[in-house]
Structure 1
Amino acid sequence: MLKKIYKIIIVPYTLFLLYLMFLGMGRFQYEENLITVEPFFSTIKFIQGPNKTIDIVRIVLGNIIMFIPFGFLGWIIPELKKLKPLLFGFISCIVIVEALQYFTRMGIFEVDDIILNTFGVYLGLKICGLIEKKINY
């Protein structure tokens, strides 16, 4: 039952997430292309900035939590039940999305986003494994 619901929801969820990444949450087009490639630099700078704690938690945890559902892709594509193919496929896709944000100037290409999003997928894969163990017992 869960797998059927997942199959129905993942495509609209992905489209919603892409909307958020390009147009939602007060997005605007930057005047120039921006990139941050030093790992954890932008996240640490963001945390140390004048931002409210709730905004920090929302952004940092959001970058993880919003990508947990992609750890369940093995329910649709069996090859993605394994860590390496899942992470290789996801990282390839998220780099393309980050590059599109860069080239359209509708966001910043940030290595931190790739790391946090990928961690979310990893957590999703682990949660998926726990759910499958529970279902099979």
Structure 2
Amino acid sequence: MLKKFYKIIIVPYTVFLLYLMFLGMGRFQYEDNLITVEPIFSTIQFIRSTIGWKDVIIIVLGNIIMFVPFGFLGWINPQLRNLKILLYSFISCIVIVEALQYFTRMGIFEVDDILLNTFGVYLGWLLCRFIEQKFSRLVL
């Protein structure tokens, strides 16, 4: 039952997420192409310079939580049940999306986004394994 629902909802969810990454949340086209390649340091700097914790939660945790559903992609493609294959595939895709943000100037190419998004996929993969073990009747 959950797998059927997932198969129906993942494509619109992906389109919605791409909308947020390029057009949503007050996005605008930057004058210059921007890139942030210092892993972790840019996120720490963002946290230190942010006035409200609400912004930190939305940006940092959002970059993790919004990608948890992609940890369940093994329900659609059995090869993606393998963590290495899932992560290699996901990292390839998210690097392309970040590059598109850079080249269109509708966002910033940020290594931290790649790391946080990938961590979200990993958490989703763990959650998927947990659900399959504990609730196998609901998953089918």
TM-score, with structure 2 as normaliser:
0.96
Deviation of residue 50 (structure 1)? 3.5
Structure 2 SS opposite 1:109: strand
Q: Name the Cα RMSD after superposition.
A: 0.9
Structure 2 SS opposite 1:35: strand
Contiguous gaps of at least 5 residues in structure 2: none
Contiguous gaps of at least 5 residues in structure 1: none
| Paired position in structure 2 for 1:81 | 81
Deviation of residue 136 (structure 1)? 3.1
| Paired position in structure 2 for 1:98 | 98
| Paired position in structure 1 for 2:22 | 22
Deviation beyond 2 Å, 4+ runs, structure 1: none
Structure 2 SS opposite 1:32: coil
Q: How does 1:19-98 map to 2 (within 5 A)?
A: 19-98=19-98
| Paired position in structure 1 for 2:134 | 134
Structure 1 SS opposite 2:135: helix
Give me the identity figure in percent. Answer: 76
TM-score, with structure 1 as normaliser:
0.98
